[in-house]
Amino acid sequence: MKLVGGSISSMNSKEERNLLKSQELCDYINCIKQRKKNDIYSIINTTLIADPYSTNFPKDFFFERVRRQNKLATFFINTVEFYARSFIHFLNYIQTFIYYKFLYRKKYQVMQQDFILDVYVSIDRTNKEGVFNEFFFSSLYSILRKRQVNYVFIPRLHDFSANPFKLHYQLRNFFKIINKDSNHFLFEFELLSVKDFLYLLWLVICYPFKTLRLIIKEEQKQDISFNTHLLKDISKQGVNSFSRYILGKNIANIANINKIYSWSEFQSIERSFNYSIRKNGNIEVYACQFWVSYPVYFSSVHIQDIDETNNFAPSKVLVNGCHYLLKRKKVDYQLGVSLRYQKLFKYQKQNTESNIVVLGSHLIDETRGILRLVNNFDKVLFKSHPNVNINDFQSVMGKNIKVVNENIYDLFPKATLIIGGATGALVEAVACGVSVIVVAEESELTINPLTIMGKSKIWDIAFSKGEMKQKSKQLIEFRNKNMNEINDIAIWYKNNLFIEPSEENIVKTFELK
């Protein structure tokens, strides 16, 4: 883990402990990976990935909690739940395949020179907007068109309804929109055979029992916690991890594809896809991590040398800024480009108003907690996360809170202080010279995207309402007396955590010469 613009000696004891515990967790997970059999079942295992949003194992590891449960009962309950959920997802997968075959009219033969992009595509969002919009690589497309480079999407469809009747309308409208779109698509359903469906079913059936091979000897309390979560997390596995494994096998057989640029958060669907590609062919997968990362993600998005040894790391990892270049012996980390952050480099510092601005995250409970903490401020502007319904917060919003729906770059000039939690927008705010409070809880993992640089000057962490008021006052006072230093810190963040999506940088990153 990289520390830029600060040192361990400048941290408080809690931050230092978090850093040391993060490394300890990575070492613990990597040790298990080395000892256990490497196959599709271990690669996609939820507990081994250790994403704090998918499993509680990292939290229990950090706080040294031990949850003893009857292993046989835990295995049985979670296996039944896994099979029930997988059955529904499998039926939805078959339904989507059928609708694709009957409704999709734009079959496309991939050419040798085509530029291949593996991206998330939201069915729900596409239907609501009435058009297909891809925003993960948003700044790239005009450059590709300018250079007459033909590009093809491999869509990762998500935002399905579990209700087959609602899914009927979703799919019907979605393929109607896609048929009219000018872009080229290579859907996984184009490559599926009956044998693939049977294999998918077999992978799902075997998963709970293959998980039992990962149980370790309980020599310390972390081992007890790991085994408990290993069994509990069986129910959290998705069918899409296995379908992406099959997709990788089928993609590897297409002779005209030699390189894929894949949006990567290095979760189970990326790991299984990478593993299958490498196992079955010679295609290079470039993992595009063009987003703001968090130290608390541990081993879940930070690609380790053991992942390369176990054959599921990408060929290269392209990152959002030099701060995210990790030192690895076997994994090739390189600078990418911040395709989604064009507005950051066009932002002109200005201060027209003095509001407290709350930025909601995708975590509903966290956002509710933040709104409760700001009810003693005079005037608060609240922008909810775009994927969260504003009605979820009506019960906790006081009269001092006004809901806004403006772009964050329109809110920055109005803010004397930004308050938020698990959102990368806090880094964008600091890079634009806006002071920030990160809200955290003592009993939870601190989801903080900022580095030690500028702590107590342009940003700080608050764990209570009292700390919120105190640290807000301190940041505003420091800002009023030290604007030159505030500007220097903002420039540091901009230069180290982002790379301007200029044509020159895009051409260099994607080797478009």
Tell which phi-psi region holds residue 176, choosing left (phi > 0), alpha (psi between -120 and 50) or beta.
alpha
313 lies in a domain? no
DSSP 3-state of 401: strand
**pLDDT score, position 412:** 93
19 lies in a domain? no
Integer angstrom CA distances of residue 93 from 39, 97, 157, 178:
24, 6, 10, 18
Tokens encoding 40: 């599709």
Strands of the sheet containing 284-289, edge to edge, are 184-185, 151-158, 115-122, 259-263, 284-289, 316-319, 333-335
For 272, other C-beta atoms within 10 Å of its C-beta total: 25
**pLDDT score, position 79:** 98
60 lies in a domain? no
Helix (H) or strand (E) holding 62: helix 57-62
Integer Cα distance of 89 and 83 in angstroms:
10
- Containing structural domain, residue 390: 343-497
How many Cα atoms are found within 13 Å in the side-chain-facing hemisphere of 290? 25
Amino acid (one-letter) located at 178: I
- How remote is the C-alpha of 304 from its chain's centroid? 17
198 lies in a domain? no
163 lies in a domain? no
**pLDDT score, position 15:** 62
How many Cα atoms are found within 13 Å in the side-chain-facing hemisphere of 217? 2
**pLDDT score, position 12:** 53
- CATH number of the domain enclosing 419: 3.40.50.2000
pTM of the model: 0.91
Tokens encoding 37: 């059999």
Tell which phi-psi region holds residue 311, choosing left (phi > 0), alpha (psi between -120 and 50) or beta.
left
DSSP 3-state of 499: coil
Tokens encoding 27: 């070492």
Strands of the sheet containing 459-462, edge to edge, are 401-403, 380-383, 355-359, 415-420, 436-439, 459-462
Residue numbers in the chain where pLDDT is lower than 70 = 1-18, 296-300, 352
Integer Cα distance of 29 and 299 in angstroms:
8
**pLDDT score, position 440:** 86
Look at the block and give the residue holding tokens 């296996």.
Answer: 79
DSSP 319-331: ESSGGG----SSS
**pLDDT score, position 13:** 57
Integer Cα distance of 326 and 222 in angstroms:
27
> What percent of the chain has pLDDT above 90?
73
Integer Cα distance of 77 and 183 in angstroms:
45
32 lies in a domain? no
How many Cα atoms are found within 13 Å in the side-chain-facing hemisphere of 403? 12
Residue ranges of alpha helices (H) inside 189-324 are 194-211, 221-232, 239-252, 268-280, 305-309
Integer Cα distance of 320 and 339 in angstroms:
9
**pLDDT score, position 16:** 66
Tokens encoding 195: 């044998």
Quote the number of domains for the chain: 1
**pLDDT score, position 68:** 82
377 lies in a domain? yes
59 lies in a domain? no
Integer Cα distance of 55 and 19 in angstroms:
19
DSSP 334-381: EE---TT-HHHHH--------EEEEE--S-HHHHHHHHHHTTTSS-EE
